[in-house]
Copies of this chain bind each other. A is one copy, B any other.
């Protein structure tokens, strides 16, 4: 694989961030399977740098729970905890509500163009049936709404939840290729309208409904898979 086959001229502090961002994306897009071993020397060779900056990137990833470190022994990509998916869904629904509500309450005029921009990106991805782009732009859309709510603690947790959900959605879209996401586009438009009108209650309600609908779809899929697994 020709990853970093560009100029070996790297700036001083940039290596860590690069490794961090790249590994993070690969993990969240399921390009690296959960449970896969993460080898420091291998990464050092791949990125053509010493183990030290690699290690720092791994420590950061471990801090976000994306990888797990066994003391003195291997490091691996965190598994998806299917048994506790409901806790993830609970947290997601609440954060959808809270961030949308806060955005309606305290957004500024300059926030709306940004949100609309991601909304259009998402619509374009749906039209193009580009699954990875759909997932990424959907996350960006809701993250932008959260930013407009201006509570860093909520946006921080929400981002993390959306990241974790990114892996699940990746599985979801791998299994089923349905055309329903158009519905999500419409719901997004409604949410924007509620935020713009500063209708806090409507924003809350729409955010909740939007989240619960996605969760229900995913749960339906996984229960189907569960039954399949048992049947085999």
**A contact residues, range:** 20 to 34
Q: Is A72 among interface residues, defined by CB-CB distance under 8 A?
A: yes
Shortest CB–CB separation between residue A162 and chain B, in angstroms? 12
From 59 to 108 in chain A, residues with beta carbon under 8 angstroms from any chain B beta carbon are 59-60, 63-64, 71-72, 84, 87-88, 90-91, 94, 98
Give which listed residue, B60, B94, B153, B157, contacts A88 with CB less than 8 A. Answer: B153
| Bound: A151/B63 CA distance, A | 18
Q: Is the CB of B60 within 8 A of A151?
A: no
Q: Is A31 among interface residues, defined by CB-CB distance under 8 A?
A: no
Q: Is the CB of B55 within 8 A of A151?
A: no
Q: Is A205 among interface residues, defined by CB-CB distance under 8 A?
A: no
A150 — which chain B residues lie within 8 A by C-beta? 87
Q: Is A109 among interface residues, defined by CB-CB distance under 8 A?
A: no
A8 — which chain B residues lie within 8 A by C-beta? none
A63-B63, A63-B64 are known contacts. Are A151 and B91 too (CB-CB below 8 A)?
A: yes
Shortest CB–CB separation between residue A57 and chain B, in angstroms? 9
From 1 to 46 in chain A, residues with beta carbon under 8 angstroms from any chain B beta carbon are 12-13
Give which listed residue, B64, B153, B160, contacts A153 with CB less than 8 A. Answer: B160
Shortest CB–CB separation between residue A69 and chain B, in angstroms? 9
Q: 23 interchain pairs (CB within 8 A)?
A: A12-B72, A13-B72, A52-B52, A56-B56, A59-B59, A59-B60, A63-B63, A63-B64, A87-B150, A87-B151, A87-B153, A87-B154, A88-B153, A90-B151, A91-B151, A91-B153, A91-B154, A94-B98, A153-B157, A153-B160, A153-B161, A156-B157, A157-B157
Q: Which residues of A does B touch, CB under 8 Å? A: 12-13, 52, 55-56, 59-60, 63-64, 71-72, 84, 87-88, 90-91, 94, 98, 150-154, 156-157, 160-161
Having A88-B153, A153-B157, one finds 19 other A-B pairs with CB under 8 Å, namely A13-B71, A52-B52, A55-B56, A56-B56, A56-B59, A59-B59, A60-B63, A63-B64, A87-B150, A87-B151, A87-B152, A87-B153, A87-B154, A90-B151, A91-B151, A91-B154, A94-B98, A156-B157, A157-B157
